[in-house]
Amino acid sequence: MLVTLPALGQQTGNMLIRNATVLTITKGTQANTDVLIKDGKIAQVGKSLTAPTGYTVQDATGMFVMPGIIDAHSHQGIDAINEWTAPVTAEVAVGDAINPFDVALYRALAGGVTTIHAMHGSANAIGGQCQTLKLRYGVLEPEALRMQGAPRTIKFALGENPTRVHGGGNNIVPRTRMGVEFVMREAFSKAKAYAAAVDTYTKAKTQKGFRGAPPEYNYRLETLAEILKGNIIIHCHSYRADEIYMMLQVCKDFGIKKIVFQHVNEGFKVAPELAAYGAMASVFADWWAYKFEVYYSTAYNAAILTRNGVTTSINSDDPELMRHLYHEAGKTQKYGALSDDEALALITLNPAKQLGIDHRVGSIEVGKDADLVIFQNHPLSVYGVPQVTIVDGVVRFDRTKDADDMRLAVDPNEPVEAVELQQRDHDSCLEGLDGAFDTIFGLN
């Protein structure tokens, strides 16, 4: 007897969303339109659809429906961020430390987010592997949050962070941007040699009478070799134009095509080069001046990149910002006059492309995952308020049923009245190192 088991914890729903203004992203804006969801997928988009029996009906008259928001840069939903013990740590994966209890995930849902790219930090030039998560908040198994089938991704980092941690803190290469380039080239050269040795061995061992040992297994080099083969997408923390250009040259020399630059505050200065290479960019809407390498930034970055043909997204890298990415996308209308569809693509279809999941999510199309948000008022308006957030056809946030305490578990040691009001003063990419910085530098 054959039993098909659904992926662990993967609940899916059936639902009819009725009479909404549907912002499809790829097929324009459709007024007075229904969206039919079957088994967690979008089954039909059209007028006057009927709900089969057993389907929940969600009236959305006067409301807007858009695809679930995708955050291409987050550190939520994971318990470990920085394995900062070496400049290259391709062997570790944040997917081994998924935390389904993180209340930030629920708060993100309340901001319309349905998929996040949970990333390793930026302490190392080559950091660990990242994990694309679906915000199935309420499910207790860590594994159930993984977006099955999403391509592998890995964090790289340039500039102040890796040089500060390793050169400054540990007195090892890299201390400068020269060193960062060297670390990249050395790692890929070793990976290339490793892959060649594995290849030679694999071919030779089929020969009759072959006597020899395989190369010593090395998961770090194995992972880097997978990047060279195009099986892992690089997401590279970067700020300055020079280091971005350097990384493009490294990719070119090693035949690496799949690279997304993260933060990339000075991406606008090398936008033609990024576009020509096919590299993508995931930026803040307007963050700057929190450290020196972002002093020469402009909030027009996303618009300049978009106009130059670079596939661009807007990310949060922050548990607060991630709750209003639709508002962040709206800022590109002030800074560069992007159209509604262009602005919304920055937080839906474009980040989906950057994570290699655009065939699954990022627009409202038949066959795609039913990850949707229902808004009161247009999502690009400052008065837009997410009402219902749906993941795989399952309602994961409903403003009318929202209670105060949405934690799934309470740490018995957690103080009742504790409040942490420290402002975060830079991107959270160095999270987990605060203690170390106090020791090393006496500053945060």
Partner 1 sequence: MKKLTAFLYTSATVALALAIQPLAAQSQKSTHATYALTHASIETVTKGVIQDGTVVISQGKITAVGTSVTVPAGAEIIDCRGRWIYPGMIDANTKLGLSEVASDPRTRDFNEVGDIVPQMRALTAVNPNSVLIPVTRVSGVTTVIATPEGDLMPGTAALINLHGYTPDQMFAGFEGVVIMWPQSGRRGGFDKRTDEEIKREYDKRINKLNEAWQKAGEYHKIDSALQSKGVTYYPEMQALLPVVRGERPFIIQVDVARDILNALTWVREKKVKKVILSGVSEGWRVATEIAKANIPVIAGPVLAVPTRDYDRYDKAYANPGLLHKAGVKVALGTTDDRGNVRNLPYHAGYAAAYGLGREQALKAVTIVPAEIFGVADRLGSIEVGKNATLLISDGDPFETKTTIHQVFIDGWKIPMKSRQTELYDEFLQRTPGVTKQ
Interface residue with partner 1 among 27, 229, 257, 407 (CB under 8 A) is 407
DSSP 80-130: ----TTSSB-TT-BGGGGB-TT-HHHHHHHTTTEEEEEE---SSSSEEEEE
The answer to whether the beta carbons of residues 242 and 264 sit under 8 Å apart is no
Binding mask 243-282 for partner 1 (x = CB under 8 A): -------------------------xx-xxx--x------
**Is residue 408 at the binding interface for partner 1, with CB under 8 A as the rule?**
no
Q: Which of residues 335-354 bind partner 1 (CB under 8 A)?
A: 335-336
**Is residue 404 at the binding interface for partner 1, with CB under 8 A as the rule?**
yes
**What is the dihedral sign for C-alpha 430, 143, 283, 335?**
negative
- Cα separation of 346 and 66, whole Å? 13
CB of 423 to partner 1, least distance (A): 7
Binding mask 363-382 for partner 1 (x = CB under 8 A): --------------x--xxx
**Is residue 159 at the binding interface for partner 1, with CB under 8 A as the rule?**
no
Interface residue with partner 1 among 331, 353, 360, 396 (CB under 8 A) is 331
> Could you check whether the bond before residue 6 is cis, i.e. omega within 30 degrees of 0?
no
Instruction: Please name every residue paired with 72 in a beta bridge, in sequence order, or none if there are none.
Output: none
CB of 119 to partner 1, least distance (A): 19
Look at phi and psi of residue 393 and say left if phi exceeds 0, alpha if psi is from -120 to 50, else beta.
Answer: left
- Cα separation of 53 and 58, whole Å? 14
Count residues contacting partner 1 (CB under 8 A)? Answer: 66
Segment interacting with partner 1, rule: CB under 8 A, options 136-144, 174-182, 200-208, 405-413: 405-413
- Cα separation of 292 and 244, whole Å? 16
CB of 275 to partner 1, least distance (A): 8
Look at phi and psi of residue 156 and say left if phi exceeds 0, alpha if psi is from -120 to 50, else beta.
Answer: beta
Unique residue bearing structure tokens 């992007």? 338
**Is residue 75 at the binding interface for partner 1, with CB under 8 A as the rule?**
no
**Is residue 179 at the binding interface for partner 1, with CB under 8 A as the rule?**
no
Say what the alpha-carbon torsion angle 242, 245, 246, 251 is, to the nearest 10 degrees.
160
Interface residue with partner 1 among 49, 185, 307, 341 (CB under 8 A) is 307
**Is residue 303 at the binding interface for partner 1, with CB under 8 A as the rule?**
yes
CB of 401 to partner 1, least distance (A): 12
Interface residue with partner 1 among 28, 140, 196, 292 (CB under 8 A) is 292
Instruction: Please name every residue paired with 146 in a beta bridge, in sequence order, or none if there are none.
Output: 133
DSSP 207-224: STT---PPPPP-HHHHHH
Q: Which of residues 102-141 bind partner 1 (CB under 8 A)?
A: 103-104, 106-107, 110
Residue ranges binding partner 1 (CB under 8 A) = 103-104, 106-107, 110, 268-269, 271-273, 276, 286-292, 295-300, 303-304, 307, 319-320, 323-324, 327, 330-331, 333-336, 377, 380-385, 402-407, 410-411, 413-415, 417-421, 423, 425-426, 443-444
